[in-house]
């Protein structure tokens, strides 16, 4: 007897952090993070332990989130740094353009600059 499993994609709604390099003082350039909120689907949900030469293993996820891209996301996908997902900020390791969607692959925990402004 064969069983047919029906999997529903989990829905996603959360922030995506974009980095913009700005001159904070003459000759000093820094990244400033702006967050924008997006809707989408979680298309792959898995975790991976990565052994390191540290006391604790690093926890990484290999999730894919497909977002409905607005014009800002389409023009600035190269500036995406992290996705807010399940209470943490995760580094975006890959962005695949499949108009009108962007497929984001996320990896380890994001340890960069925090949000400095919010845009809608």
pLDDT value of position 108: 84
pLDDT value of position 23: 92
Report residue 25's pLDDT band, with 50, 70 and 90 as the boundaries: very high
Residue 88's CB is within 10 A of a number of other CB atoms, namely 13
Q: How far is CA 40 from CA 53, 63, 77, in A?
A: 36, 13, 15
Domain coordinates of the chain in residue numbers?
10-114
pLDDT digits (tens, 9 = 90+) for 90-109: 999 999 999 899 999 998 88
Q: What's the mean pLDDT in 15-28?
A: 94
Residue tagged 């499993």 (tokens): 5
Asked if pLDDT for residue 12 goes beyond 60, the answer is: yes
Q: Are 79 and 19 in contact (CB under 8 A)?
A: yes
| Highest mean pLDDT: which range of 2-11, 25-34, 50-59 | 25-34
pLDDT value of position 101: 96
């Amino acid at each position: 007897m064969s069983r047919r499993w029906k999997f529903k994609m989990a829905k996603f709604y959360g922030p995506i952090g974009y980095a913009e390099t700005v001159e904070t003082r003459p000759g000093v350039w820094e990244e400033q993070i702006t967050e924008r909120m997006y809707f989408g689907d979680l298309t792959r949900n898995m975790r991976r332990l990565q052994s390191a030469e540290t006391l604790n293993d690093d926890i990484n996820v290999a999730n894919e989130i497909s977002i409905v891209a607005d014009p800002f996301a389409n023009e600035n996908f190269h500036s995406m740094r992290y996705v807010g997902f399940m209470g943490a900020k995760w580094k975006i390791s890959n962005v695949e353009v499949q108009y009108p969607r962007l497929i984001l692959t996320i990896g380890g925990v994001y340890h960069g600059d925090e949000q400095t402004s919010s845009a809608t």
